[in-house]
Structure 1
Amino acid sequence: MKDSSSIACSDAAHALQLAVLEDDAELRESILLPGLRDFGFEATGAGTAAELYRHMLRQRFDIVVLDIGLPDEDGVTVARHLRELSGVGIVMLTGNRGRRDHVRALEVGADAYLSKPVDLEVLAATLHSLRRRLADPRHGDAANDDTPTAITAWHMETDGWCLIAPNGTSLALTAPERQLMCSLIEAGGQPVSRETLIGALCSNVYDFDPHRLEMLVYRLRRKSTDAGAGPLPLLTSRGNGYLFVCQPQQDHHAPTA
């Protein structure tokens, strides 16, 4: 039987549905939408509040990412309307680093606030974190208590698009990172050869530069330490490839109490 991490990698549950309200067409179409899709989200763009409202008549969104400065309606006003109408998640973006916009956004019910230029990896991690909070039945007062969260092993969530560290830090994954981690986790701690991993990452192994695999592993390790998740237990198995140790091995020689 596969563990929950493997199931999260193989099951194709619905992707998180995002609406991205940004009036800068180049930023929206060339950076935000393709970047978010690379992280596994279904992203629909809108350039005005009116266009967003039209999309919402035809489609259900889990989270709306919106800019504060808009041509037809202030982003804070849009956020207020969204919060009055539904429980949709709201992430606000702004180029203004002052406190006033931040406070206004939170007062009308925004769930998160990020400054431009936004780092796509940070935005993706924020969206995954918000998704988990919205899905938590304790969301609200009970979810904000001070009860310590139990430390768990490394595991995958949100259909394999998010790697969760034992300390609760979430690492948003791109499509190649997700495929690599799924292959390693499904191996159950056993080494996976470079050839097998390359075969999972591309359709034609002969066109794949093996150095890309090494760079992918390096980037994942760096991502983990930079995010505060600690060292990623993605280990090199000399002559065999790589392996991922979800949790430390128990010391069977340790004395019992």
Structure 2
Amino acid sequence: MSYQGQSSALPSQALRVIVLEDDPLLRERILLPGLADHGFRVTGSATATELYRNMLAQRFDIAVLDIGVPDEDGLTVARHLRSMSNIGIVMLSASQARADRIQAMTDGADMFLSKPIDMEVLAASLHSLVRRMQSAATWQGAPKSPERVPVPSRGWHLETDGWCLLSPRGAVIALSVPERCIMQQLIARQGTPVSRSALIAALSQDVYEFDPHRLEMLVYRLRRKAGEQSGETLPLLTARGSGYVFAKGALDVELAS
């Protein structure tokens, strides 16, 4: 099953994720909609056979694999995928056993996450994995030189078509559909206030049905999430009497195309 969540207009270059999970409730109610709401084009598979069939039909950037599936365990699937491609591989397991983690990494997994799954952590992990994969590909394709040119530090900015927010120290915060919308509106204004009514209009097609308190809660949660996941303060400020502003001078803009 493919899932696109709240956004019916995901960009064509959105990261494509295939999920192998035999628990239908976890797969259909949590993983697929959760990843779709963070901007991924996601397809679910209940068995290894279904996963292989889906992978023959289309290309995927990342495979999220549960270790315990009925027809072929996730470790075997990871080993098979790694033998024939450079796809990103993330293993999920309720097991806390150190041996399982070691075996997963030995079999080609890039990451190992424990259940129960925190969707914010999973989404941020997928964005981080893709950024590392892209960085590695860039360095491998670049001509060799005796010295690596230092990369200048950057302020808060958006990447992966606006679906992840990076802090000045490099922490990755995965954004949901409304969080992405808010950040794009604020960054586009480059330090000038954006009214609450403008943000609500961007968030909803029916501004009269949108509860203004929901906007306040979204901003509050976004500030808290960014602080908890980065250890840094997101410069999203309240402009008294007008709306919100992303503090000028504290950002480096990289708008989504």
In structure 1, the partner of 2:5 is none
Q: Name the SS of the counterpart of 1:54 in structure 2.
A: helix
Q: How far off its partner does 1:229 sit? A: 4.0
- The structure 2 residue matched to 1:232, chosen from 231, 234, 238, is 234
Aligned counterparts of 1:147 and 1:68: Cα–Cα separation in 2: 41
Identify if the C-alpha distance between structure 1 residues 188 and 198 changes in structure 2 by more than 3 Å, giving closer, same or farther.
same
Identity over aligned pairs, percent: 58
Q: Name the SS of the counterpart of 1:227 in structure 2.
A: helix
Q: How far off its partner does 1:246 sit? A: 5.5
- The structure 2 residue matched to 1:192, chosen from 187, 191, 194, is 194
* Native 8 Å contact 1:19 1:61 kept in 2: yes
Q: How far off its partner does 1:120 sit? A: 0.3
Aligned counterparts of 1:211 and 1:199: Cα–Cα separation in 2: 14
Q: Which whole-Å deviations, capped at 9, do the CAs of 1:110-162 have from their partners, x for residues lacking one?
A: 0111000010000000000011111111379x9xxx99864211110000000
In structure 2, the partner of 1:81 is 80
* Native 8 Å contact 1:169 1:227 kept in 2: yes
In structure 1, the partner of 2:47 is 48
RMSD between aligned alpha carbons? 2.1
Q: How far off its partner does 1:210 sit? A: 0.4
Q: Name the SS of the counterpart of 1:132 in structure 2.
A: helix
Counterpart amino acid of residue 55 in structure 1: N
Counterpart amino acid of residue 126 in structure 1: S
* Native 8 Å contact 1:125 1:170 kept in 2: yes
In structure 1, the partner of 2:157 is 155
In structure 2, the partner of 1:138 is 139
Identify if the C-alpha distance between structure 1 residues 191 and 112 changes in structure 2 by more than 3 Å, giving closer, same or farther.
same
Q: Name the SS of the counterpart of 2:103 in structure 1.
A: helix
Aligned counterparts of 1:107 and 1:147: Cα–Cα separation in 2: 32
Structure 2 length-normalised TM: 0.87
Q: How far off its partner does 1:74 sit? A: 1.5
Q: Name the SS of the counterpart of 2:63 in structure 1.
A: strand
In structure 1, the partner of 2:99 is 100
Say how many residue pairs are matched: 236
Aligned counterparts of 1:246 and 1:40: Cα–Cα separation in 2: 27
Aligned counterparts of 1:55 and 1:70: Cα–Cα separation in 2: 16
List gaps (5 residues or longer) in structure 1. 1-10, 250-257
* Native 8 Å contact 2:19 2:42 kept in 1: yes
Aligned counterparts of 2:108 and 2:70: Cα–Cα separation in 1: 21
In structure 2, the partner of 1:32 is 31
In structure 1, the partner of 2:178 is 176
Structure 1 length-normalised TM: 0.87
